[in-house]
Structure 1
Amino acid sequence: MKVACVGGGPGSLYFSILMKRVDPSHDITVYERNPVNSTYGWGVTFGDELLSYLHVADPESARAISESLVSWDSWVTHVHDRATVTEQAEEGFGISRHRLLAILAERARALGVRVEFQREIAGEAELADADLVVAGDGVNSVLRERHADHFGTEVTVERNTYIWLGTTKVFDSFIFAFVETDHGWLWCYGYRFSEDRSTCVIECSPATWRGLGLDQTNETDSLALLEKLFADILDGHPLIGRSQADGSAHWLNFRTLTNRRWYHDNLVLLGDAAHTTHFSIGAGTALALEDAAFLVNALHGDPRLQPALARYERQRRSAIRKLQRAARYSAQWYENLPRYIDLPPLELIALQARRESALLAHVPPRLYYRMGQTIESLYGCRHWLGSKLGRTRHAD
């Protein structure tokens, strides 16, 4: 099979690796429009379950990834001027997005995949000789948008604003920090991804963003203000932004994307081109890698292309539906932070851990907390308020 993968992210690269492992005769090219090492983002998170799966799917790339991981086994929550709470948790892992992509690209090339950087593909006509075109070109997928009506693409723009930053502060734990200002609350998700860098994702409501003037300030001034607000966790270390040609800060509103269909003729969607989940549960990279594995299994389970793509669409849409729903509830919890922020710190943290619950938004927060305490006391359900799985999925 001749395969063209458009977009050089983790999903496309991992798909090319697994396809070559199953059948080295596949002719596969990955096209990435940006230069090498120009990826956005800072760190990517992994859990034990994903790592175990990667070791089964392709042990060689999994070993290289494991050797580059840093880890943490606790969660620290700061509620400004009120409390700092530390919790033990299952081990979490971080890796530089640059390093992850370099590992996957190197492994793909070693298996015979061609990886072409600075090569933009505007439409399938440029790939007319390909038996299969994999659109792994992200939430703004050009190939998907050419057939948006067929795919049934729907995009919901979330209310809060956020900015994805790095820092030279190396966090020993996964950090949540809530900071109050005269214009409302901001909060930070922080985790290390290398021996000398960490990720900081900072989020706030539109009213807080505008009230602090962050909608008007350039990146330099924005970072200076954020460094001051989060001084307690940064310990004097700087925040690092993304260079913008006009000097503006890269504030965003998260876009939740769904598609009714995932394939059209020989074009199939993968990763963020097919679906997105809010960064507060940190599942984006994991889902893209799982998409790749499902697609390879479907293609090699049925030699007929259309039935294979239909199977992939059916299985993956079903597999991620629950997680997409949980991500929406998680985003809504942060959008409604004033409902919870004045709770005692331990109650706030417990309900933050259960933010993926459909029930939480409809029950008074303190009553919901007491319900959990009662169930825990009666049945010994120690993790009712804090699913370990939920606590190990965060911004990536």
Structure 2
Amino acid sequence: MDQSWLRKTRRWAPVFAAAAAVRVAYWVVVIPTWVPNADADQYVQLGRGLADGKGFSLVFPQMELHATAFRPPLYPALLAPTNLVFGNALWPARLLSVLLGSLVVVLAGVLAARIGGRTAGYAAAAAVALYPPLLANDTVTLTEPLALALLLGLVLLADAERWVPAGLLTGLFLLTRPNGYLVVLVVAFWAWRKVGTRAALGAVAATLVVFVPWLVRNQVQVGTFRPTTSDGFTMAAIYAQPAQDAGTFIDPVFSHAYDDPDHRLAQFDEVVWNDRLTKDALHGVKAHPDYVWRTVRRNFRGYFEISAELNTYPEVNDGRDMALRDHVRPIFFAVTILGLVGLARSWRDRRVIALSVLVASFVVLSLLLVAPPRLRAPFDLACCIGLGLLVAAFLPDRWRLPELAPDATVDDPPVDEPAAGQPAPA
């Protein structure tokens, strides 16, 4: 097992190093003076609070520091050690994102190699390493690189029939993206189909071991068993009457439409505020159900870059360079079309099916609520993997990488019928 691990490390270490170099170059050349704002700043503040011994606490959306569940905990917990060692310096947090994004490149290559062979793996890794929409997430303090790494990791572990570790990563994923409940069902169903009920229950139990303590903490310190208290904020910002009147996202914290005592006083209790905003959103949907379809259409235009102007505000908020965005926008359409074709060619592969189901759930959620380009990361990742599969399928034989003999270790996934090319060890 150790020799196999060393071989795989040597195989992918240059890819990791190249991906990290690209991300550092983007950091230095494109956004060297980036300062966290909005979501990115909240994650930084949460990490600093943990490092300073203040617990998982935040001032937003109130006026004083308080125990919070407004954001999921895993990413701030990873930021906290950088604050313990380097104080409030921002560069260690940005470097963490570089490393996580580089890990995503390697894991995407491993998954593509298992599906379509070494050529597909390296082509997919190159696509993920260089794709501007993904690159833009990997030098700022946002959760996307971590979420993608966990998503790929749990798919790879499930593919290798390592159900308990897959369940553990699923729990960590929920501590990064609490709305990813479908991941639990996909892993459990996969385990049930491949092995049986015991494996499925083991995966779910492992997930709960990781996830439930956070729910208990929230009940004790915040007053709710919910994983986060931000759902009402998001729903009201899209579907409450002030948002419908404006026809766009309206922030309940800063909008004067919420200056009445009922809403402002509710802000001092996250649970009450979350419930109040959820009711506002549901009332808006009930009064104007057609607004849901209007929201989906608007989000579709922004999500798929049809109306790029819809993305300007969120992209500026997320630290993206608008001039670069406009120059590389055509690349999005090419990668999306070719990537979807590549995935479609391998549609019978169990790994492609699992990834597609998970990505589709995130796409639907974004179309129904908010659809900034950074939340498109799972879709962009899947398209890059599909692009790698397509390249491998049509590349002339003389340019293909020779396949390696499978390593006879428990780390290797069970061999399936290939969907495109021949499966190769990761």
TM-score, normalization by structure 2: 0.27
Greater share of helix: 2
**Structure 1 or 2: more strand by fraction:** 1
